[in-house]
Copies of this chain bind each other. A is one copy, B any other.
Amino acid sequence: MRHRLKDVAERAGVSVKTVSNVVNGYLHVRPDTRARVEEAIAELNYRPNLSARNLRKGRTGVIALAVPELDIPYFAELARHVVSAAAEHGWTVLIDQTGGGPEQERKVASGIGDHMIDGLIFSPLALTADDLTGLDGMPMVLLGERVDHGPADHVVVDNVAAAREVTAHLIGLGRRRIAAIGSQRTPEGASARLRLAGYTAALAEAGIGYDEKLVAPAPAWHRADGAAAMRELLSSGVRPDAVFCFNDTLALGALRALHEAGLRVPDDVAVAGFDDIEDGRFSIPTLTTVAPDKERIARLAVELLAGRLDGDREGPPRELTAPHRLATRESTTGRP
C-alpha cells in the first residue's frame, strides 16, 4: 500500500503538518527536523496523493489539450509542442481526441469539466460559440480559427495573408491556371474559407480571373481526400499548372495522384501546401508550404492559459497571432 503523510510523520516523530511543510518547501523548519523528515520520506518512498492535494487546493496541475485527431501530423506536432511548453509551467497535459465531428466535439467541450482539469486548450473544427457553454468559467484557449466572438482567448495564424503569399508565390513562377484543393462549405470549414479568401485575393491582385472549376472541395483534409480531389481535377479537363492545397496532407495526396497520372512536379504542375509537417521535407518532391510557427503557437496558448489561471479570469478575451513563413521547396521551384 502507498504511504501517507501520517506514516511519514509517525516515523519521523513529528506532526503531519510538519511533514507537509517539508514536502512543500515551507521555510521555517529546523534543519535537523527537516533531515529527519526527509529521511523518513525516502525510506517509505512517500509520494503525495494528488487527488487529496487537489481537493484541498482546488488545482490539479493538469490541463487538457483537445484536438480532432492525434494521427494527423499537424496535430501530433502541435501536441508535442504543447506538452513541452506545459511542462515548463509544471503542468501535465491530458489529451482528448474529439474526432472532429460536430457532435463529438460538442461532447468533449461540455464534458471536459468532468475531468480534473485546470484549463483547456482546444483546437476545434466544428465548434461555434454556443457550444462553449457549460464550462462554468473553465479557462480556455482556442487554437486556429476564431469561434466567432466567443468568450475565450485565441491563438491564430493569419490564414488569409498566408494563403495569399503562397498563391502569389505560384503566380510569381509564371503559373496562371492555379487550382485550390480543400474548400469546404460546412460550418466547420472556417480555415478553408479563410485560405480560399487569401487565394482569391492573390488572384485578383495579379489580375487573374477566378475560375470556380479550379476549386476542388475536400470533405476532410487527409491524404486520401487530396488524392481524390486531384484526380477529379485532372479528369475534369481543367488542366491546372499549379495547385494550392489547404494543408500538407492534402498536398501529399495530390502529389501521389499527379504521380499516378504521369505528370511531373513542378514541371507540369507546381504544388504547395500549408502546415509544414515533417513529411513534406522528405517527400518526393519536397513540399513548398506555409510554415506556421507551431512552437510559438503552443507557447502562446500555454501562456494565455497561465495568465487566466493566475490572474484575471474575467478580463476580456485576448487574441494573439502566431507568425508564419513561406518554405519554398522542390514542389514549386524544382530546387530543395
Question: Assembly of this chain: how many copies?
Answer: 2
Is A333 part of the contact surface with B, judged by Cβ < 8 Å?
no
Verify if A52 is at the interface (C-beta below 8 Å from B).
yes
B62 touches A51 (CB 8 A): no
CA distance A93 to B55 in the complex (A): 21
Which residues from chain B contact A255 at a C-beta distance below 8 Å? Answer: 282, 284
Q: Which chain B positions have C-beta within 8 A of A73?
A: 71, 73, 76
A45 near B278 with CB under 8 A, answer no
CB-defined interface of A51-89 with B at 8 Å, one 1/0 digit per residue?
110110000101000000111010011011001100000
List chain B residues, Cβ under 8 A from A206: none
**Cross-chain contact A49 with B55 (CB below 8 angstroms):** yes
A87-146 with Cβ < 8 A to chain B: 92-97, 113-116, 134, 136
Chain B positions within 8 Å of A95 at CB level = 79, 83, 93-95
A256 close to B279 (CB less than 8 A): no
> Which residues on the B side are within 8 Å of A208 (C-beta)?
none
A282-B227, A284-B283 known; A114-B70 Cβ under 8 A = no
Interface mask (A25-64 → B, CB under 8 Å = 1, otherwise 0)? 0000000000000000000010111111011000010100
Taking the closest CB of chain B, its distance from the CB of A234, in whole angstroms, is 16
Distance in angstroms between the alpha carbons of A52 and B116 in the assembled complex: 10
- Docked pose: A47 CA to B115 CA in angstroms: 10
A281 is an interface residue with CB less than 8 A from chain B? yes
Residues of B near A278 (CB, < 8 A) are: 71, 223
Task: Verify if A2 is at the interface (C-beta below 8 Å from B).
Answer: yes
Q: Which of B48, B134, B223, B281 contacts A45 (CB 8 A)?
A: B134
**What is the CB-to-nearest-CB distance from A258 to chain B, in angstroms, rounded to a whole number?**
9
The reply on A252 being an interface residue by CB < 8 A is: yes
Q: Does A182 contact B (CB under 8 A)?
A: no
Docked CA distance A190–B71 (Å): 25
Residues of B within 8 A of A55 (CB): 49, 51-52, 55
Determine if A253 is an interface residue (Cβ-Cβ < 8 Å). Answer: yes
Residues of chain B contacted by A213 (CB below 8 angstroms): none
CB closest chain-B residue, reference A3: B136
A259 within 8 A of B: yes
Residue of A52, A79, A224, A282 with most chain B CB atoms under a 10 A cut-off: A282
Say yes or no: A223 contacts B113, CB within 8 Å.
no
**Known A62-B94, A256-B282, A284-B284; further 18 A-B contacts with Cβ < 8 A:** A50-B115, A50-B116, A51-B116, A71-B73, A71-B76, A71-B79, A79-B95, A80-B97, A92-B115, A93-B94, A94-B94, A94-B95, A223-B281, A223-B282, A224-B282, A227-B282, A256-B284, A259-B284
- Show 21 A/B contacts (Cβ-Cβ < 8 Å), sorted by A: A50-B115, A51-B116, A52-B55, A70-B77, A70-B83, A71-B80, A73-B73, A83-B95, A83-B96, A92-B96, A92-B115, A94-B95, A95-B95, A116-B116, A223-B278, A223-B281, A223-B282, A252-B279, A252-B282, A255-B284, A256-B282
